[in-house]
Amino acid sequence: MSRLYPRLCIVPLCAALLLSAAAPAAQPPLALASRILPTAAAPTPAVLPYIKVPAGRIALTHVRVIDGTGQPAQAERTIVIADGKIVAVSPATAPLPPDVRVLDLSGQTVLPGIVGMHDHLFYIARPDIDAAGKSEPPLMVPEMAFSAPRLYLANGVTTIRTTGSVEPNTDLNLKQMIDAGRIPGPHMDVTGPYLEGPGSPFIQMHILKDAADARRTVAFWADRGVTSFKAYMFINRAELKAAIDEAHRRGLKITGHLCAVTYREAAALGIDDLEHGFFVNTENDPGKKPDSCTKSDGEDTLAAMDPNGPAAKSLIADLVSHHVAVTSTLPVFEQRVAGHAPLWPRAMAALTPEARESYLYLRNLTANAPEETRARNAVAFQHGLAMERAFVAAGGLLLAGPDPTGNGGVVPGFGDLREIELLVEAGFSPEQAVRVATLNGATYLGLQARIGSIAPGKDADLLVVKGDPSRTITDIQNVELVFKDGIGYDPGALLQSVRGRYGEY
């Protein structure tokens, strides 16, 4: 949740801003790549129990490859890995190089490691929740610094953008520990603390005072090493503008889950990305006033919007022409749909008993909602799916992440896989859905030369699943092995270590 800086600068300050704006960009793209994907350190003993295939020269033979570009899957391939990189992708009949460890993965499919673009490190707790869904203030958001990184890695998510932080120091230190090989986890684009205005129910967030505060907040956290920013629901246009300008001045991108500011307003201000597909665009919400959030947070606008109508076309064209990416977060919105897919048993096993209880209470309430609410949520969800497809058809860059918040039914890692299934439900081919969850995220981050697809020269960040998701998308759940920088991690060992922990720490 971010707030912007209004343009209220007095003359000396404006001059200073102009001067700094004229200075060369603080972070050239290469520097950002080396910060998000630094050279891998050797794993320390604490990480060894989670490694199934140590670094080395490795050939994955007889695999099907879904390469992340959207091209059709290819059967009977060999992928050769050395020094943490993919060095060759060839037909299985090609001779193997000498001195490789051969892993015959017949019947399995290799995909690029997922680039999760709405992948938080916290859980939303509801203190003393009861069966009627009542909980006591304040709403607390405990940090899952132990369980979330393991859940992501275990499910093939090798790079995450944290997309809003409640404990930015924890996130920055966590990234350092992971990069140093001291704990298992994905590569991280650490997003700064939510840039939020007055009205937020989240007690852990800083509330911006004005545009100058927004600019200072961005500058402060950029100096401390965060590599992206996120604006939140109650930020106003002036604050958002100031935050965008300060982030861009430093070569960093900024996204938003907005409410007081509409999608078109944010695009005009220069935002890089909009979270939650088309679910939180408030422009046609009843009673919408400039710079003020609505009760429905966009659901009214989406439910009333014909995905093939002129209003939808015009909105999408506006975003595409401003080069604004959109992040699909379907799993969290699926939770509003009565009778939605149940939580997979392996994900359920990761929850604490309290998180499990909270999830089941809230799921039950969704199922028992008044008919009118259920019907409206179902329509909005279908419109959301269709709008995301239309956005891509119009040339928009769609990213993906599950947003593990909501009612506890979205769990890190598992949610990233569910997101791919829901993109297929939206009408994308499995290969296109995988591209949204891999290469598109890498492209947005400027890391497409390193990650996001399977090609010689790229980092060996790979997801291996049993079966063939290009035919049966649910096969994507069968994660067997996850490579990060050429090291093969063991999903079973990672999941076992966080059994019953998600919701606690």
Interface with Zn ion by CB under 5 A: which residues?
Answer: 403
| Nearest approach, Cβ of residue 176 and Zn ion (Å) | 23
Q: Tell me the closest approach of the beta carbon of residue 275 to Zn ion, in angstroms.
A: 6
Query: Shortest distance, CB of residue 118 to Zn ion, whole angstroms?
Result: 6
* Nearer Cβ to Zn ion (262/405): 405
Selection from 180, 219, 210, 204 nearest residue 26 by Cα: 219
Residue the block writes with tokens 């966009």? 298
Q: To the nearest whole angstrom, how small is the minimum distance from the Cβ of residue 106 to Zn ion?
A: 39
C-alpha dist (Å) from residue 150 to 350, 411, 501: 11, 11, 11
The distance of Cα 257 from the centroid of its chain, to the nearest Å, equals: 12
CB 449 within 8 A of CB 365: no
Which amino acid, one-letter code, is at 105? L
Q: What gap in Å lies between CA 221 and CA 244, rounded to an integer?
A: 14
List b or e across 159-184, with b for residues whose CB sees 16 or more CB atoms inside 10 angstroms: bbbbbbbbbbebbbebbebbbebbbb
Which one, 118 or 346, has the nearer CB to Zn ion? 118
Q: d(Cα 86, Cα 396) in Å, to the nearest integer?
A: 29
> Which CB sits closer to Zn ion, 255 or 453?
255
Q: Least separation, in Å, of the C-beta of 148 and Zn ion?
A: 13
CA 126/CA 365 separation, integer angstroms: 15
Closest to Zn ion by CB, 6 vs 256, is 256
Residue with smaller CB distance to Zn ion, 280 or 387? 280
Q: Is residue 267 within 8 Å of residue 240, measured between CB atoms?
A: no
Where are the extended beta strands (E) located within 311-416? Answer: 325-328, 398-400
Residue 475 burial (C-beta neighbours within 10 Å; 0-12, 13-18, 19+): middle
**Based on CB atoms, which residue is closest to Zn ion, 171 or 403?**
403
Shortest distance in whole angstroms from residue 468 CB to Zn ion: 32
Residue whose CB is nearest to Zn ion in the complex, by number: 403
* In the complex, minimum distance from the CB of residue 412 to Zn ion, in angstroms, rounded to a whole number: 12
- In the complex, the smallest distance separating the C-beta of residue 216 from Zn ion, rounded to whole angstroms, is 24
Q: What is the 3-state secondary structure (H, E, C) of 165-202?
A: ECCHHHHHHHHHHHHCCCCCCCEEECECECEECCCCCE
Cβ contacts of 12 within 8 Å, gap of 6 or more: none
Closer to Zn ion by CB, 245 or 403: give it.
403
